[in-house]
Amino acid sequence: MLKKNMADKQMDTLKKVFCYIKKYRGYLILSVFLAALTVISTLYIPILIGDAIDFIIDAGKVDFKGLMPRLVEMVIVILITAIAQWIMNVCNNKMTYRIVRDVRRDAFNKIEILPLKYMDEHSYGEVVSRVIADVDQFADGLLMGFTQLFTGVITILGTLFFMLSVNVKITLVVVLITPVSFLVAGFIAKKTFSMFQLQSKTRGEQTALIDEMIGNQKVVQAFGREKEVLEQFDEVNERLEKCSLRAIFFSSITNPSTRFVNSLVYTGVGITGAISAINGRLSVGQLSCFLSYANQYTKPFNEISGVITELQNAIACAGRIFELIEEEPQIPEKENAVVLEQVDGTVDLKHVSFSYEADKKLIQDFNLSAKPGQRIAIVGPTGCGKTTLINLLMRFYDVNSGSIKVMNEDIRNVTRKSLRASYGMVLQETWLKTGTIRENIIMGKPNATEEEILAAAKASHAHNFIKRLPQGYDTMITEDGGNLSQGQKQLLCITRVMLCLPPMLILDEATSSIDTRTEAKIQNAFATMMKGRTSFIVAHRLSTIKEADVILVMKDGNIIEQGNHKQLLAQNGFYAKLYNSQFSR
């Protein structure tokens, strides 16, 4: 049953590969034609060599008159073979790397529309391994397949045809021994596929671990986890070593095994041909021609056995990348989805329930009505659902039941682009791309003028530190901010939002990495920016939300208290305990 499933999986993967090849069938047809031309011209050369040998009548007796045309013909055929082979290789390279380009593009396009849930459940390193390493392995196998498989198969068929035209009996000797080579290659190929599949999976696991450890090197060193991480890496590395060695061992015995069988073919041809030549049924030139054919006939089996091994690896890697491409995308937008315009900031959540896992309840029967211009603060212990609520407002996740409406439109009926363009987000975790400071600021408003950029930077108090950088706003930074401090990175993210000035704001611990003095200035800037804009503020430091119009106190996914700062303190409930715990002596 397992073998059948494995075979079905291979066939499914091959069908998907052929779908990509179909676009470049022009190159494929030309490649097959040139392969046939190369093989025919290559197989014609032994006939010319055999004829040339027969013109050598005896010692010192050579028919040069008959020999010269054969030599000229040989030179012409060799030139045709070389040109055809070069053009065939160009076609194969173009076809392979265009297919790889299409596969990578489809994989990356799928990543862009995958639900956030997929990225939460899979490590970044594992996804990167599929798109980079697995596709590279797939490309290597595909290129070898195109280059050697067509040529090898046509060579075998062509050689048999030419051998039959010379001598039928000796050809039968070759045909009878051939199936042994197929049986040996087939047996090894079945063994190698599962091993290459395991190798590809383990390599992805190793890439994920390396990516995670490099990205969190400071945390690893801060908590003295170097030894444990090294042990973890060694364990994965040893597993990769074992499965790689097994895969390579089985793949490497393919060639010697088929070579042994092919040697039997050559021996059979040599003995049978020699007997025929002695008995006068075969000339010495024809025997030379036949031995050359026997050698050419067996050579493709060695190449094809190597190709099959590489294809097993390629198919295993292709299967992993196709799994990513075929993942369920986020729920598509409706055909008549509404484009939000002139958003006033009205947001209504009615009977909203949501959980990441069906058996673990999180937000239950959540109700909230945000009026235009209101500042709504969300507080509560870790894991109560604050950030989850932000994910639902932005439609990174869809609610399990209930509804979220903006301007009385259910956000499931609204285009994601217009919904997200209506919010400005500043999160505790900053995100900056490789580029200039200016490029990072104008991400949400590419057509911003210089005056607008400067005004936003001054409002966020980022202008002063930017001017101190070597090239100011044109200073290049690497991924995730390079040498900028965490506070500076957060100021740039705040500047980005201040430049766009969307109708609604989401501030999730937006000033967590900024010093107290700068935070006070930014809070004043935020206060100015929030005027007339609906704002959702997630905060742990309760001193930053005292001016909020409504404070929602969450616990276990439910709102347990609601009111402004003074009202909640007067209630002397959960909020009062949280507040007093932060400011008690």
Residues 368 and 490 grouped into a single domain: yes
b (16+ CB within 10 A) / e for 291-306: bbbbebbbbbbbbbbb
Out of 97-101, 171-175, 464-468, least confident range: 171-175
Largest CA distance in the chain: 123
Whichever domain contains 105, its CATH number is 1.20.1560.10
Both 467 and 526 in one domain: the answer is yes
The H or E element containing residue 56 is strand 56-58
pLDDT value of residue 4: 46
**Structural domain containing residue 276:** 2-325
Is residue 529 a part of any domain in this protein?
yes
Predicted confidence (pLDDT) at residue 560 exceeds the cutoff of 70: yes
> Do residues 355 and 310 both lie within one domain?
no
The secondary structure element, H or E, covering residue 432 is none
Matching residue, tokens 């050369």: 45
Predicted confidence (pLDDT) per residue in 498-513, tens digit: 888 888 888 887 666 6
Averaged pLDDT, 375-383: 81
Which has more confidence, 267 or 347? 347
CATH code for the domain in which residue 506 is found: 3.40.50.300
Average pLDDT over residues 72-87: 87
352 and 245 in a single domain? The answer is no
**Structural domain contains residue 342:** no
Considering the domain architecture, whether residues 48 and 155 belong to the same structural domain is answered as yes
Asked if pLDDT for residue 2 goes beyond 50, the answer is: no
Q: Does residue 341 belong to any structural domain of this protein?
A: no
- Do 280 and 359 lie in a common domain? no
Domain count, the chain: 2
- Number of residues assigned to the chain: 585
Per-residue model confidence as pLDDT tens digits over 352-364: 888 887 777 778 8
pLDDT at 62: 63
Q: Which two tokens stand for residue 324?
A: 């990513």
Going by the DSSP 8-state scheme, the letter that residue 199 receives in this structure is H
The span from the CA of 495 to the CA of 14, in Å, is 50
Residues 423 and 455 in one domain: yes
Q: 361 and 439 share a domain?
A: yes
Q: Are both 302 and 413 inside the same structural domain?
A: no
Q: What is the mean pLDDT of the chain?
A: 79
Residue 56 lies inside a defined structural domain of this protein = yes
Both 440 and 494 in a single domain?
yes
What is residue 358's predicted lDDT score, i.e. its pLDDT?
Answer: 75
**269 with 379, same domain?**
no
Cβ distance 208 to 125 under 8 Å?
Answer: yes
Q: Do the domain assignments include residue 55?
A: yes
39-43, 74-78, 284-288, 477-481: range with lowest mean pLDDT: 284-288
Does the residue 120 lie in any domain? yes
The mean pLDDT value for 260-279 works out to: 74
Tell me if 340 is assigned to some domain.
no
Give me the phi and psi of 4, to 5 degrees please. -65, -45
350, β-bridge pairs: 403
Name the pairing type of β-strands 347-354 and 558-563.
unpaired
CB atoms under 10 Å from CB of 237, counted, come to 14
Same-domain pairing of 46 and 195:
yes
Distance CA 378, CA 187 (A): 64
Nearest to 143 by CA among 82, 193, 195, 94: 94
Alpha carbon 21 to its chain's center? 19
> With a threshold of 0.85, does the pTM exceed it?
no
- With a CB cutoff of 8 Å and minimum separation 6, the contacts of 477 are 432, 434, 435, 436, 437, 440, 483, 484
pLDDT, tens digit (0-9, with 9 covering 90-100), for 294-333? 776 766 766 666 676 677 778 878 888 888 888 888 888 8
Nearest CA to 110 out of 409, 324, 259, 284 is that of 324
pLDDT exceeds cutoff 80 at 154: no
- Residue 535 pLDDT greater than 50, yes or no: yes
Rounded to an integer, the average pLDDT of 431-457 is 87
Q: What pLDDT is recorded for position 284?
A: 67
Cα 236 to Cα 116, 439, 559, distances in angstroms: 27, 40, 45
Phi/psi of residue 179, each to 5°? -55, -30
334 belongs to a structural domain: no
Phi-psi region of 474 (alpha: psi -120 to 50; beta: other; left: phi over 0): alpha
pLDDT for 21 equals: 84
* Higher-confidence position of 175 and 238: 238
Model confidence pLDDT, tens digit, residues 118-152: 877 777 777 887 888 888 878 877 777 777 777 77
- 225 burial level (CB within 10 Å; 0-12, 13-18, 19+): middle
Question: Which of 181-195, 361-375, 389-403 bottoms out in mean pLDDT, i.e. has the lowest?
Answer: 181-195
C-beta neighbour count of 92 within 10 angstroms? 25
Does pLDDT of 585 surpass 50?
A: no
Whether the pLDDT of residue 80 is over 70: the answer is yes
Q: How far apart are CA 261 and CA 267, in angstroms?
A: 10
**What does the pLDDT look like over 383-413, one tens digit per residue?**
777 778 888 888 888 888 889 888 888 888 8
Confidence (pLDDT) at 304 = 67
CA distance 49 to 71: 8
